[in-house]
Chain A
């Protein structure tokens, strides 16, 4: 990959919007926009999850199993990014990355070592790793405004817990905090001000 950019943050912090804005901004560089949305029913993910659960014989609740499945979903996506030639020499913009899985592991009481075990040997360090820093109460308000059903992880108490966890790991992961309590344009400008690309698209 020419450049690997990840945007992270709580639900409602504006990740997807900022990823799309960044995608438009870098459009001439032909970026690839990648998002971890709903887990598709994927045979590789299903087999890997089943094999892992069998091998480890872990007693887990449904949220924890779902998270392991999500981790494998991300695992195969990362594997594709590193092996598929269509990603070579391209800028990749990622909506969420491994921090999401770790944060939810904390929320659902899953040992983070399990997640590390899954991502072992495959983790790619992003060239630019941003966290949209927005207070959980504001995120929650935005989530409510969407008018959709609220997931467990989107409840205010859980957003607060996730926020605290994200803030505690940003240093370890080398994540740059972006003040997201601003207009879309200001947040976008703040992100692009950190990204240095020369005329050929290569990192300086």
Chain B
């Protein structure tokens, strides 16, 4: 359920329109996310879950999949 919520928030913060549900296996850059729009995604997730992601993990996850962001959020919530 949490994973689904995270994916929905990511989708809400995308700059491009994606007409399907996101899945953890989606490549981050394939969704049009770059180092700038990634900040919007992080802001959206931090606000939604009232968390602050560890600064050491704020780097743009180049070449990674959405499962990376899901883990990032789950770790911050835990």
Binding site for B on A (CB under 8 A): 41, 43-44, 46-47, 49-50, 53-54, 62, 65-66, 69
Which residues of chain A are within 8 angstroms of B43 by Cβ–Cβ distance? 50, 53-54
Are A46 and B58 within 8 A (Cβ)?
yes
Smallest beta-carbon distance A89→chain B, Å: 31
Interface residues on B, range: 10 to 19
Interface of A is mostly: helix
Nearest chain-A residue to B61 (Cβ)?
A: A41
- Partner of A50 from the list B15, B37, B56, B58 (CB cut-off 8 Å) is B58
Which residues of chain A are within 8 angstroms of B37 by Cβ–Cβ distance? 62
Are B39 and A41 within 8 A (Cβ)?
no
Nearest chain-B residue to A45 (Cβ)?
A: B58
Other CB < 8 Å A-B pairs besides A46-B59, A62-B15, A69-B36, 7 of them?
A44-B55, A46-B60, A50-B46, A53-B39, A54-B43, A65-B36, A66-B36
Binding site for A on B (CB under 8 A): 15, 35-37, 39, 42-43, 46-47, 55-56, 58-60
Are B39 and A46 within 8 A (Cβ)?
yes
Which residues of chain B are within 8 angstroms of A65 by Cβ–Cβ distance? 36, 39
The 10 closest A-B pairs by CB, nearest first: A46-B58, A43-B55, A47-B55, A41-B59, A65-B36, A43-B58, A62-B36, A66-B36, A50-B39, A41-B60
How far apart are the CA atoms of A7 and B55 in the complex, in Å? 33
Are A43 and B56 within 8 A (Cβ)?
yes
Are B47 and A46 within 8 A (Cβ)?
no
